[in-house]
Amino acid sequence: MTSSSKPGTPRTFAVIGGGAVGVATASLLLREGLDVVLIERGGLGEGASFGNAGVLAPSSVVPMSMPGTLLKVPGYLLDPLGPLSIRWSYLPTLAPWLARFVKSGTRERVQAQARALKPLLDDSFSAWLPLVRHAGNEALIQRDGFLAVYRSEADFAGDALGFKLRRDNDIPYEMLRGADLWAFEPSISRDYTIGVLFRQCGHTLNPNRLVRTVGEAFRRDGGRLVEARALGFSLEGGELKGIETDAGLVPAQAAVVAAGAHSRPLAASLGDDVPLDTERGYHVLIADPETLPQRPILDASAKFVSTPMETGLRMAGTVEFAGLEAPPNWTRADHLLTLGRRLFPGLAPQYPEARVSRWMGFRPSMPDSLPVIGRASACRDVVYAFGHGHVGVASAARTGMAVSDLLTGRMPAFDLAPFAPTRF
């Protein structure tokens, strides 16, 4: 247990952030029999958890920065359909993050990062299952596998190190080529000739509803929700007394910072200057599409994911660096629709606006692709759980388990040293 309460005194645990990580963590703490309050300024699951691809993928151990990534950046930036965009006015702010990103992409470092991500992502479907089952909606997650497809042997060969990292971490996959691939997933274009199937992966039919459903069960079971923006912490002698919010002080003796892209100022107030930045991601969703894949598909050549959801076909991806304040560039979402038609030739050439929705959200990303999980420097009563980048939904439940272990005095199931807030 942390130090801030006397024996026999009821302790309140505050979780800041109502996304996948925050809601999973709050729910797991509540199941420990603890008094838990969840602080969220918007609706549950309305941030990055709303619009992601919804894939529960243990295969996602491959870091974003890899050897050779820097050489690909100019081509990405020059391609209007490319996976990367930078608002040049934001470049001076982004430069220190980019320098760390490039530094993180050596062969030795990505091997260590993949090893660290392995237990965090391990069987993410089963990690979520008790939470959704308890919430009474087990059907929200499905284990139908995850398929990566390539247009050429050269594209596939370019990912050789990524597949070595998966083999090194005991992540199985199967190769499908040509007719075998097209028979397995008939919806895709015959221009894609190579497929890699990860059978142990799953996905959620609606990541927003997944978070809201688990959050509703949290409130049903006695968890409290405070709709407010967390501003800082009230400390006395290094012990936590409460969370300062725009609605007043929320008393608490332990806390979790799981505020996603908005976590950096909160960490800074506790003495930790973490290099968190925002990868803005987009999605486009087609209601009642003419064709629908049977499982999530990564177009590994174009770097986006298409997921069959209860609301239609969602195509999600791209990375845009522009910070938290710049308005969306909806052309990025429209590009995803263009790429989607290339992957799924059965889609219509045009859609009325009523059938297409667009979204932009903020991925909280660290330059080494590892989230921040660990105690705050200025107060051991506060634990960080943010910076999950592209694997927030997939890693949320296991992150919640690790945080619950830390706050209740148990040894976490895996080593948290690689995720330390002081590692930079």
Sheet containing strand 55-56, edge to edge, reads 55-56, 202-204, 141-142
Who contacts 373 (Cβ-Cβ below 8 Å, separation ≥6)?
Answer: 383, 384, 385, 399, 402, 403, 416, 419
Alpha-carbon span 362 to 376, nearest angstrom? 23
Number of domains in the chain: 1
What pLDDT shows up at residue 74? 87
Who contacts 78 (Cβ-Cβ below 8 Å, separation ≥6)?
Answer: none
Residues in the chain: 424
What pLDDT shows up at residue 78? 83
pLDDT at 2 over 60: no
What pLDDT shows up at residue 9? 55
Domain span at residue 97 reads 61-105+143-202+279-363
What pLDDT shows up at residue 1? 39
Instruction: Classify residue 74: in a domain, yes or no.
Output: yes
Strand (E) or helix (H) holding 314: strand 312-321
Residue 278 bridge partners (DSSP): 364
What pLDDT shows up at residue 387? 98
What pLDDT shows up at residue 7? 47
Who contacts 71 (Cβ-Cβ below 8 Å, separation ≥6)?
Answer: none
pLDDT at 6 over 80: no
Residue 203 bridge partners (DSSP): 55, 142
- pLDDT band at residue 14 using 50, 70 and 90 as cut-offs: very high
For range 257-278, the mean pLDDT = 97
Which tokens go with 61? 């151990």
Residue from 273, 251, 280 nearest 372 by CA: 273
Instruction: Classify residue 226: in a domain, yes or no.
Output: no
What pLDDT shows up at residue 10? 66
Residue from 252, 282, 270 nearest 37 by CA: 252
- pLDDT band at residue 4 using 50, 70 and 90 as cut-offs: very low
Residue from 401, 408, 415 nearest 24 by CA: 401
Residue 172 bridge partners (DSSP): none
pTM for the structure as a whole: 0.95
pLDDT at 409 over 60: yes
Instruction: Classify residue 241: in a domain, yes or no.
Output: no
Q: What is the pLDDT of residues 22-63, one digit of tens each?
A: 999 999 999 999 999 999 999 999 999 999 999 999 999 999
Which tokens go with 358? 């667009």
Instruction: Classify residue 191: in a domain, yes or no.
Output: yes
Handedness of CA 74, 357, 195, 106 (dihedral sign): positive
CB 237 within 8 A of CB 253: no
CB 67 within 8 A of CB 107: yes
What pLDDT shows up at residue 341? 97
pLDDT at 128 over 80: yes
Q: What is the pLDDT of residues 68-106, one digit of tens each?
A: 988 888 888 888 888 999 999 999 999 999 999 999 999
46 phi/psi in degrees, rounded to 5: -95, -5
CATH of the domain at 305: 3.30.9.10
For range 146-154, the mean pLDDT = 97
pLDDT at 390 over 60: yes
Who contacts 22 (Cβ-Cβ below 8 Å, separation ≥6)?
Answer: 15, 16, 38, 40, 256, 258, 259, 385
179 phi/psi in degrees, rounded to 5: -60, -35
CA 144 to chain centre: 20
Sheet containing strand 35-39, edge to edge, reads 224-226, 35-39, 12-16, 254-257, 382-386, 372-375
Who contacts 10 (Cβ-Cβ below 8 Å, separation ≥6)?
Answer: 35
Instruction: Classify residue 166: in a domain, yes or no.
Output: yes
Residue from 390, 284, 296 nearest 341 by CA: 284
For range 378-385, the mean pLDDT = 97
Instruction: Classify residue 195: in a domain, yes or no.
Output: yes
What pLDDT shows up at residue 319? 93
Who contacts 140 (Cβ-Cβ below 8 Å, separation ≥6)?
Answer: 132, 204, 205, 206, 209, 210, 213
Instruction: Classify residue 407: in a domain, yes or no.
Output: no
For range 228-239, the mean pLDDT = 96
Selected residue with higher pLDDT from 47 and 7: 47
What pLDDT shows up at residue 3? 43
Residue 194 bridge partners (DSSP): 150, 177
Instruction: Classify residue 354: in a domain, yes or no.
Output: yes
Alpha-carbon span 325 to 304, nearest angstrom? 24
pLDDT at 293 over 70: yes
Q: What is the pLDDT of residues 392-407, one digit of tens each?
A: 999 999 999 999 999 9
Q: To the nearest whole number, what is the mean pLDDT of the chain?
A: 95
